[in-house]
Structure 1
Amino acid sequence: MLTFLEDPDLRLIFFGGKGGVGKTTCAAATALHHALHSPQNSVLLVSTDPAHSLVDSLGSFHLPDNLTAKEFNAQQALKSFQAQHRDKFVEIAARGSFFDEEDIRQVLELSLPGLDELMALLEIAGWVETQSYTQIIVDTAPTGHTLRLLTIPGLIRNWLKALDALMEKHRFMQQRFRGAYQPDEMDRFLASLTDKVKQVESLLHHTRLCRFVPVMLAEEIVISETLKLLGELRRRQIPVVEIIVNRLYPESSCPRCAAGYQRQRQLLAELASLSSTSDYVWWGLPLFPDEIRGANLATLWKRATALELTPSGPATIQMASPPFVENPYPCPTTAPTFLIFAGKGGVGKSTVASATALRLAREFPERRCLLFSTDPAHSLSACLKLPVGPRPVHLAPGLTAIEIDAPGEFAAFKKRYRQDLERFFQSTLKNIDVPFDRQVLERLLDLSPPGLDEIMALVIVLDFLDQGSFDLFILDAAPTGHLLRLLELPELIDEWLKTFFGILLKYQLAFRFPSLSQEMVKISRKVKLLRKMWQDPVKTALYTVSILTEMAFQETSDLLAACNRQGLWTPVLFLNQATPASDCPLCAALNRREALIRAKYQESFAKLHQTVIYRQTTPRGLDLLDELGKALYLPRTREDCNGAAHDLSALSS
Structure 2
Amino acid sequence: MVASLEAFLDRPLVLVGGKGGVGKTTVAAALALTLASRRPDRRVLLLSTDPAPSVRDALAGETLGDLPNLRVIELDAQASFSRFRARHREGLREIALSGTFLDEADVERFLDLAVPGLDEIAALQAIEEFIESGKLDHLVVDTAPAGHTLRLLALPEAIQTWQDALEGLSAKHRLLAATYGSGALAGEGDRLIGELASTATEARLLLADPDRTSFLLVTNPDPLSVREAGEFLAVLREIEAPAPLLVVNRVTPQNETCALCTARRSSERPWIALLRRELGPAAVEIPYGPIEPRGTEALLAVGNLLLGEESVPPAETRDRRADAPRPFLQPPVSSLQPASSSLQPHLDPGPARLLLVCGKGGVGKTTVSSALALSLARLRRERVLLFSIDPAHSLSGALGVRIGPTVREIETGLSAVEVDAGACMDELRGEYRGEIEESFASFFGTRSLDARIDREAMERLIDLAPPGLDEIIAFSELARHMDEGRFGRFVVDTAPTGHFLRFLELPGTIRAWFSSIFEILLRYRNTLRLPRVQARLVKLSRRVRALQAALAHPDDAGLVPVAIPTALSFEETKDLLARARELGLDARFGVLNRTVATGDGCPLCERRALDSYEFHERYLAAFPGTLFMQLEERGHSPIGVEELGEIGIGLFA
The TM-score, its normalising length taken from structure 1, stands at 0.90
Q: Distance in 1 between matches of 2:230 and 2:269?
A: 17
Structure 1 letter corresponding to 2:258 = C
1:169-568 alignment runs, 5 A limit: 169-178=172-181, 184-252=187-255, 253-271=257-275, 276-278=278-280, 281-294=282-295, 295-304=297-306, 323=336, 327=340, 329-330=343-344, 332-333=347-348, 334-365=350-381, 367-429=382-444, 433-508=450-525, 512-568=529-585
State which of 590, 593, 596 in structure 1 corresponds to 2:611. Answer: 593
Q: Map Cα deviations across residues 579-625 of structure 1 (whole Å, 9 max, x no partner).
A: 22222111112222343333322221122111111111322111111
RMSD, aligned α-carbons: 2.3
Q: Do the aligned partners of residues 509 and 149 (structure 1) sit closer, same or farther apart at CA in structure 2, a change above 3 Å counting?
A: farther
Indicate how the Cα distance of structure 1 residues 235 and 607 shifts in structure 2: closer, same or farther if over 3 A, else same. Answer: same
1:209-252 Cα offsets, whole Å, 9 max, x none, are 10111111111111111111111221122223311111111111
Contact map agreement 2:476 2:540 (CA 8 A) in 1:
yes
Match of residue 641, structure 2, among 607, 622, 630: 622
Structure 1 position 8, deviation (Å)? 5.9
The secondary structure found in structure 1 opposite 2:285 is strand
Tell me the amino acid that sits aligned with residue 399 of structure 1. Answer: L
Higher alpha-carbon deviation: 380-389 or 460-469: 460-469
AA in 2 matched with 1:150: L
Query: 2:275 & 2:42 partners in 1: Cα distance?
Result: 38
TM-score, scaled to structure 2: 0.90
Question: 1:161-201, CA deviations, whole angstroms, 9 ceiling, x for partnerless residues?
Answer: 22222211221122122399698443233213311221122
Mapped contact 1:464–1:470 kept (Cα < 8 A):
yes
Give the aligned residue type for 2:479: L
Name the CA distance, whole Å, in 2 between partners of 1:353 and 1:419.
39
Change (3 A) 1:305 1:116: closer
Percent identical among aligned pairs is 37
Contact 2:577-2:586 within 8 A present in 1 as well: no
SS of the residue aligned with 1:196? Answer: helix
Amino acid at match of 2:421: A
Residues of 1 paired with 2:436 and 2:259: CA distance?
66
Moved more, 407-416 or 424-433: 424-433
Q: Which letter maps to 1:50?
A: P
From the superposition, tell whether residues 245 and 429 of structure 1 become closer, same or farther in structure 2 (CA, over 3 Å): same
Instruction: Supply the AA of the counterpart residue of 2:305.
Output: R
8 Å CA contact 2:167–2:193 kept in 1: the answer is: yes
| Amino acid in the other structure paired with 1:60 | G
Q: Cα offset for 1:390?
A: 2.0
Q: 1:641 corresponds to which residue?
A: none
Q: CA deviation at 1:84?
A: 2.1
The Cα of 1:24 is off from its aligned counterpart by 0.5
The DSSP-based 3-state class of the residue aligned with 2:113 is helix
Are the aligned partners of 1:78 and 1:113 in contact in 2 as well (CA < 8 Å)?
no
Query: How far off is 1:356 after superposition?
Result: 0.8
Change in CA separation of 1:558 and 1:108 when aligned onto 2, cut-off 3 Å:
same
Which one-letter code corresponds to 1:108 in the other structure? Answer: L
Question: What CA distance in whole angstroms lies between the structure 2 residues aligned with 1:141 and 1:123?
Answer: 14
- The answer for unaligned runs of 5 or more in structure 1 is 307-320, 635-653
Question: Which amino acid is 1:118 matched to?
Answer: I
1:62 Cα deviation after fit:
3.3
Shift of 1:123: 1.5
Contact 2:439 2:528 in 1 (8 A): no
Verify the 8 A CA contact 2:335 2:651 in the aligned structure 1.
no
Q: Is the 8 A contact 1:42 1:133 kept in 2?
A: yes
- Tell me the distance in 2 between the aligned counterparts of 1:107 and 1:553: 39
Q: State the shift of 1:45 in Å.
A: 0.3
| Inter-partner Cα distance in structure 1 for 2:476 and 2:149 | 24
Gaps of 5+ in 2: 309-333
State the distance in 1 between where 2:303 and 2:89 align.
46
Q: How many pairs align?
A: 618
What is residue 152 of structure 2 aligned with on the other side? Answer: 149
Taking structure 1 as reference, are residues 525 and 40 closer, same or farther at Cα in structure 2, changes over 3 Å only?
A: same
Name the CA distance, whole Å, in 2 between partners of 1:14 and 1:325: 44
User: Is the contact between residue 108 and residue 447 of structure 1 (CA under 8 Å) also seen in structure 2?
Assistant: no
CA distance in 1, matches of 2:201, 2:491: 41
Distance 1:491 1:181 in 2: 37
Q: Could you tell me how far apart the structure 2 residues matched to 1:181 and 1:175 are?
A: 9
Partner of 1:647: none
Q: Match for residue 573 of structure 1?
A: 590
Name which of structure 1's ranges 519-528 and 509-518 shifts more when overlaid on structure 2.
509-518
SS of residue matched to 2:522: helix
- Contact kept? 1:74, 1:116, Cα under 8 Å: yes
1:285–1:305: 8 Å Cα contact kept in structure 2?
Answer: no
> Which SS does the other structure have where 2:218 is aligned?
strand
In 1, are the aligned partners of 2:221 and 2:249 still within 8 Å (CA)? yes
**Residues 395 and 7 (structure 1), Cα distance of their counterparts in 2 relative to 1, 3 Å cut:** closer
Relative distance call for 1:179 and 1:425 in structure 2 (3 A) is: closer
Alpha-carbon separation, structure 2, partners of 1:549 and 1:258:
22
CA contact (8 A) 2:173 2:184 kept: no
Q: 2:609 and 2:183 mapped to 1: Cα distance? A: 76
Match of 2:625 among 607, 611, 619: 607
Structure 1 residues 528 and 571: alpha-carbon distance in aligned structure 2, compared to 1, 3 A threshold: same
1:553 to partner: Cα distance: 0.6
- Cα offset, 1:423, TM superposition: 1.6
Which one of 135, 149, 164 corresponds to residue 167 of structure 2?
A: 164
Is the alpha carbon distance of 1:435 and 1:113 closer, same or farther for their aligned partners in structure 2, counting shifts above 3 Å?
closer
Contact map agreement 1:393 1:402 (CA 8 A) in 2: yes
CA deviation map 1:354-392 (0-9, x unaligned)? 011111012332x32111210000111111111112222
Structure-2 separation of matches of 1:461 and 1:436: 38
State the shift of 1:338 in Å. Answer: 1.0
Cα distance 1:8–1:533, how it changes in 2: closer, same or farther (>3 A)? Answer: closer
SS at the partner of 1:426?
helix
Structure 1 residues 325 and 509: CA distance shift in structure 2, 3 A: farther
Which has the higher mean CA deviation after the structures are superposed, 368-377 or 103-112?
103-112
Preserved CA contact (<8 Å) 1:326 1:613: no
